[in-house]
Amino acid sequence: MARRCIVCDKGTQTGNNRSHALNKTRRTWKPNLQKVRVLVEGSPRRAYVCTRCLKGNKVVRAI
């Protein structure tokens, strides 16, 4: 699964974990993606959409 929203193209972010001793280790933040039935070019299909786009009505849900 490509961890990417089809509407806003939000994806995985990377950064560092920092301990109290200031050690650095790499980490990732994954977006909150939901697999929903949406209308893409007039036809329904399942796609991954982030919850921010779902809540903001930026996508048309298929019934």
pLDDT tens digit sequence for 6-34: 999 999 999 999 999 999 999 999 999 99
- Residue 46 Cα distances to 25, 32, 34, 41, 61, angstroms: 35, 16, 10, 13, 10
Cα Rg for the chain, rounded, in angstroms? 16
User: Considering the chain, what percentage of its residues have pLDDT values greater than 90?
Assistant: 89
Total structural domains in the chain? Answer: 1
- 1: pLDDT confidence band, cut at 50, 70 and 90? low
> In terms of residue numbers, what domain contains 32?
1-63
CATH number of residue 13's parent domain:
2.30.170.40
Predicted model pTM: 0.79
Residues 6+ apart with CB under 8 A from 42: none
pLDDT band, very low/low/confident/very high, at 51 (cuts 50, 70, 90): very high
Sign of the C-alpha dihedral computed for residues 13, 60, 55 and 48 taken in this order? negative
Q: Which residue has the tokens 């070019």?
A: 41
